[in-house]
């Protein structure tokens, strides 16, 4: 194969014919181009008509400037290569340009979103695995036997490493499941319309936002010295949806008795879980000096947060369950 | 109680309006005079007062715009 090798650019020294990784500094290729793409030796440009993807767009600024037409005029290999991967080299270049533009656009969007919502930190909260989810759910249902509540301090802390790290996966999933379960419960009571799903979800979301605001304001006003992060708070407020789902399901199966029992049980376990977890976070700081009033109000805050959750749980589920009685009576009597 | 997101926004707007309308001389000065000591005793009252003050400083002008928008929306959509 002397003829193709004769066309090799003296400076680049690329391999021919087999999968190339890089043609040299001007045109690196990121995919295995298995077609034999001869290169014309003209000028300083290396213009393989089967284009490479991906590299920084500055490198192609010079590449776009030179039209491939002069390259095609001379040699027979160009004809052969014209039938290769992309029939139209302009389409190939357009694709390259589009890809680089898309990459730039993505970077721009990422940077702008990063200003408002810290996406990298949010990603940490979703880094869960099955073992963590199972253990955490078990902990939410029965936290009384768990002994070690503090987080082993490593930065950054992801839920994979430690079961005591709050995550956002369970709250998000529990929220969606709660909406669906509420839909099922409403459907069993013949009260379901598709709008109800939207109404329930936006109502639950609104209560969540209100609760978040109230807790954040209270934490700010009582000036509690804690390093509890905002997203941690969202996670902790989201754990009550698990309890709500259990209450709804128990209410569906065992009617009123089951509902109230499950509600009481979930409230108890959630309060216990929150008190133990938040005690670690909020009151963890007094190493040497203990702020007298600070820690007292912190304690009040803690208890307040823990106790307001069952209230919300009852509030959000009761209006789904409370028309149980007429349905039970209706099934017996004439309708 | 089925709230929507729009009700939440309305309620927040009304609360912010209420905070900004508080009269400085007749009402707020009573709370200022109690404690104005510096130092690390950042009690609850001080925090609350500084929160109110910062809300009033920051949100005065944007609130005008938000109120105008809400009034227009209510006029159009009822």
Output the pLDDT for position B67. 94
Domain annotation covers residue B48: yes
The owner of tokens 């990063």 is A114
Token reading at A317: 């589920």
List the one residue out of A223, A207, A224, A226 whose CA is nearest residue A309: A207
Where does the pLDDT of residue B42 fall: very low under 50, low under 70, confident under 90, or very high at 90 and above? low
Nearest to B2 among A203, A221, A297 (CB): A203
Average pLDDT, chain B: 83
Where does the pLDDT of residue B74 fall: very low under 50, low under 70, confident under 90, or very high at 90 and above? very high
Residue predicted with more confidence, A327 or A38: A38
> Percentage of chain A with pLDDT > 90?
1
Cα(A232)–Cα(A157) distance, integer angstroms: 12
Nearest to B4 among A206, A293, A297 (CB): A206
Cα(A217)–Cα(A223) distance, integer angstroms: 10
Cα(A320)–Cα(A99) distance, integer angstroms: 50
Domain annotation covers residue B66: yes
Average pLDDT over residues A120-134: 82
- Neighboring chain B residues of A223 at a CB cutoff of 8 Å: 42-44, 47
List the one residue out of A177, A148, A189 whose CA is nearest residue A247: A177
The verdict on a CB contact (< 8 Å) between A209 and B8 is: yes
Domain annotation covers residue B73: yes
A177 touches chain B (CB under 8 A): no
Cα(A284)–Cα(A300) distance, integer angstroms: 15
Checking if the pLDDT of A280 tops 50, the result is yes
Output the pLDDT for position B73. 92
Give the nearest chain A residue to B8 (CA atoms): A206
Output the pLDDT for position A98. 87
Cα(A282)–Cα(A280) distance, integer angstroms: 6
The number of domains in chain B is: 1
Contact by Cβ (8 Å): A50, A79 = no
Domain annotation covers residue B71: yes
The verdict on a CB contact (< 8 Å) between A220 and B51 is: yes
Output the pLDDT for position B70. 93
Contact by Cβ (8 Å): A62, A47 = no
Domain annotation covers residue B38: no
Total-model pTM: 0.63
Cα(A247)–Cα(A257) distance, integer angstroms: 10
Where does the pLDDT of residue B63 fall: very low under 50, low under 70, confident under 90, or very high at 90 and above? very high
Cα(A279)–Cα(A35) distance, integer angstroms: 65
Q: Which residues of B touch A (CB under 8 A)?
A: 1-5, 7-8, 42-44, 47-48, 51
Please report how many Cα atoms fall inside a 13 Å half-sphere around the Cα of residue A186, on the Cβ side: 20
ipTM value, please give it: 0.80
**Distances from the Cα of A181 to the Cα of A83, A240, A247, A250, B50, angstroms:** 58, 14, 10, 11, 44
Cα(A63)–Cα(A61) distance, integer angstroms: 5
Q: What range does the domain containing B6 cover?
A: 2-33+43-77
Contact by Cβ (8 Å): A24, A14 = yes
Contact by Cβ (8 Å): A168, A122 = yes
Cα(A277)–Cα(B68) distance, integer angstroms: 45
Count of A-B CB contacts under 8 Å = 35
Output the pLDDT for position B69. 93
């Amino acid at each position: 194969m002397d003829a193709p090798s004769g066309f090799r650019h003296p400076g680049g020294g690329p391999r021919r014919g087999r999968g190339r990784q890089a043609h040299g500094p001007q045109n690196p290729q990121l995919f295995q181009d298995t077609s034999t793409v001869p290169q014309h030796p003209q000028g300083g440009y290396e213009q393989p008509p089967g284009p490479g993807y991906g590299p920084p767009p500055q490198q192609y600024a010079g590449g776009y400037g030179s039209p491939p037409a002069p390259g095609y005029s001379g040699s027979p290999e160009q004809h052969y290569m014209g039938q290769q991967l992309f029939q139209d080299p302009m389409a190939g270049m357009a694709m390259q340009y589009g890809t680089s533009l898309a990459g730039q656009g993505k970077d721009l969007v990422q940077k702008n979103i990063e200003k408002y919502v810290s996406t990298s930190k949010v990603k940490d909260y979703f880094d869960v695995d099955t073992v963590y989810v199972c253990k955490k759910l078990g902990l939410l249902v029965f936290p009384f036997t768990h002994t070690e509540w503090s987080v082993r301090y490593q930065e950054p802390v992801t839920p994979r490493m430690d079961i005591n790290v709050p995550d956002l996966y369970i709250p998000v999933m529990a929220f969606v499941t709660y909406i669906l379960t509420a839909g099922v419960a409403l459907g069993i009571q013949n009260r379901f319309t598709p709008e109800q799903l939207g109404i329930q979800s936006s109502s639950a979301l609104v209560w969540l936002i209100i609760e978040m605001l109230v807790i954040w304001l209270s934490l700010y006003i009582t000036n509690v010295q804690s390093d509890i992060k905002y997203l941690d708070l969202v996670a902790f407020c989201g754990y009550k949806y698990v309890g709500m789902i259990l209450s709804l399901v128990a209410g569906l199966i065992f009617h009123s008795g089951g509902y109230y029992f499950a509600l009481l049980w979930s409230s108890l376990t959630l309060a216990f879980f929150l008190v133990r977890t938040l005690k670690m976070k909020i009151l963890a700081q007094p190493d040497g000096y203990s702020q007298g009033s600070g820690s007292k109000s912190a304690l009040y805050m803690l208890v307040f947060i823990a106790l307001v959750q069952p209230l919300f749980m009852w509030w959000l589920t009761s209006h789904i369950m409370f028309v149980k009685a007429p349905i039970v009576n209706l099934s017996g009597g004439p309708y | 109680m089925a709230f929507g997101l729009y009700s939440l926004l309305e309620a927040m707007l009304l609360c912010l309006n209420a905070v900004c309308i508080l009269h400085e001389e007749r009402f707020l000065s009573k709370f200022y005079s109690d404690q104005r000591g510096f130092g690390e005793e950042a009690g609850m009252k001080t925090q609350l007062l500084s929160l109110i003050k910062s809300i009033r400083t920051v949100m005065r002008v944007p609130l005008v715009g938000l109120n105008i928008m809400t009034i227009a929306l209510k006029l159009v959509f009822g």
